[in-house]
Amino acid sequence: MLNLILRRIAVAIPTLLILTIVTFYLMHAAPGGPFTSEKPLPPQVLANIEAKYGLNDPLWKQMVNYIGGIVTEFDFGPSFKYKDRTVNDIIAQGLPVTLVYGTLSFIFAVVLGVSLGVIAAVNQNSRFDYLAVGFTMFAQVLPNFVMGPILILIFTLWLGWLPGGGWNGGHWQNVIMPVIALGTSYMASIARLTRSSMLEILRSNFIRTARAKGIPERTIIWRHALKPAMLPVISYLAPVFVFMITGSFIIDMVFSTGGLGYFFINSAYNRDYAVMMGITLLLGSLTIFFNMIVDIIYGWIDPQIRY
């Protein structure tokens, strides 16, 4: 296990370095710059601003300075767009928001999705099963940029139960709709995946053997069937989890939650170089970290996998 972790870390460092270099060059290759605007700045003004941010240095030097700043001071640079904030400020503000609604959406999707899938599979071809299949099919294809505004329409305008947006320090009333909007389609996918995987397992020989031994159905499902049925679900969950906790542009945009997703996408539009780099590196690190966690869980859940 320790060996696996060490090996992963050894690979992570060059991976992040390559990610930095590639992103840096791609970013600068995009036409326009952070200070390109409808009303172009006079050359003198532009030169003053570029000098202030070190953008007049050759590209390689800018990159060396950038990486140097991270390694020595953990300084990810300033935002060019939001002049009173650094990248560290932006991440410190956006990441907690994103982590909270991302994690809650994940829990919402997994708990509801797995339960729905298992119950549907156990009661295959029952009325509940048909209902579950129909509902999940619908929920899976409903994109969150449609679902978000519909939720606001229902819960804010018609029922007046929940505020239509904002984060409000993570107040539960503000969290509910983002979590449902982000989690629902994943919940549906998880339910469908769980159902089909469970059905397959329930038809397999070792379950038949267990039934023949007279083990109660409840024990068979909980003790014998659930764990192997979860394998395909877990390989699906790993990227979903990383995706959820790294933020959603749509959720941030529809619900004004102020999470990282919005900053990330907008930094690309604004050519806010340092913000884009900072969030890319953060997401890259999170992806590597959680992939490692998933590999560990794999080894624990499936005895056939050994590292």
Partner 1 sequence: MKLTTKAFLMATAVTFVSASAWAAGTHPVTGEALADDQTFTYRVLDEHSSVDPQIVEDVSGAEIVRDLFEGLYNQDADGNLIPGVALSHTTNADKTVYTFTLRDNAKWSDGKPVTANDFVYGWRRLADPNTASPYQWFVEVMGLKNSGAVMAGDADPSELGVKAIDDYTLEVTLENSLPYFALTTTHSSTFPAPKWAVDAHGVDWTKPGNIVSNGAYVLTEHVPNERSVRERNPMYWDNDGTILDKVVALVINEESVALTRYMAGELDRTEIPAGQYPSLSKSNPDEAIVFPRLCSYYFMFNMSDSGPEALKDKRVRQALSYAVDRSIITENILQGGQTPAYTFTPGATANFEVPAVPFGEMSQTERDAKAKELMADAGYSDGLKIELIYNTSEDHKKIAIAMSQMWKQKLGVETTLANQEWKTFLDTRGNQNFEVARGGWCGDYNEASTFLDLVQSNSGYNDSKYSNAEVDQLLADAKTSDNPQPNYKRVEEIIADDMPLIPIYHYAGNYMLNANLKPWPVKNAEQNWYSKDLYKVAD
Binding-site ranges for partner 1 (CB under 8 A): 30-33, 35-45, 48-49, 51-53, 81-85, 90, 93-94, 148-149, 152-153, 156-157, 160, 163-167, 252-258, 262-263, 269-271
First-to-last CA distance in the chain?
A: 7
Instruction: For residue 258, give Cα distances in angstroms to 52, 168, 277, 282.
Output: 28, 10, 19, 17
Minimum distance, C-beta of residue 219 to partner 1, in the bound complex (Å): 49
Is 278 in contact with 87 (CB distance < 8 Å)? yes
Minimum distance, C-beta of residue 170 to partner 1, in the bound complex (Å): 11
Please give the Cα distance from 183 to 179 (Å, whole number). Answer: 6
CA geometry: angle at 260 spanning 257 and 264, to 5°? 125
Minimum distance, C-beta of residue 278 to partner 1, in the bound complex (Å): 15
Minimum distance, C-beta of residue 167 to partner 1, in the bound complex (Å): 5
Is 271 in contact with 32 (CB distance < 8 Å)? yes
Minimum distance, C-beta of residue 255 to partner 1, in the bound complex (Å): 8
Is 102 in contact with 261 (CB distance < 8 Å)? no
Minimum distance, C-beta of residue 9 to partner 1, in the bound complex (Å): 33
Closer to partner 1 at the Cβ: 113 or 247? 247
Please give the Cα distance from 58 to 266 (Å, whole number). Answer: 25
Name the 3-class secondary structure at 78: strand
Minimum distance, C-beta of residue 200 to partner 1, in the bound complex (Å): 42
Closer to partner 1 at the Cβ: 32 or 134? 32
Please give the Cα distance from 105 to 98 (Å, whole number). Answer: 10
Closer to partner 1 at the Cβ: 96 or 232? 96
Closer to partner 1 at the Cβ: 163 or 232? 163
Minimum distance, C-beta of residue 158 to partner 1, in the bound complex (Å): 9
Name the 3-class secondary structure at 52: helix
Please give the Cα distance from 79 to 86 (Å, whole number). Answer: 5
User: Of 30, 10, 29, 17, which Cα lies nearest the Cα of 68?
Assistant: 17
Closer to partner 1 at the Cβ: 27 or 199? 27
Closer to partner 1 at the Cβ: 206 or 269? 269
Is 301 in contact with 232 (CB distance < 8 Å)? no
Closer to partner 1 at the Cβ: 16 or 162? 162
Please give the Cα distance from 287 to 297 (Å, whole number). Answer: 15
Q: Which residues are bridge partners to 86 per DSSP?
A: 78
Closer to partner 1 at the Cβ: 186 or 262? 262
Is 97 in contact with 257 (CB distance < 8 Å)? yes
Minimum distance, C-beta of residue 285 to partner 1, in the bound complex (Å): 23
Closer to partner 1 at the Cβ: 48 or 219? 48
Name the 3-class secondary structure at 181: helix
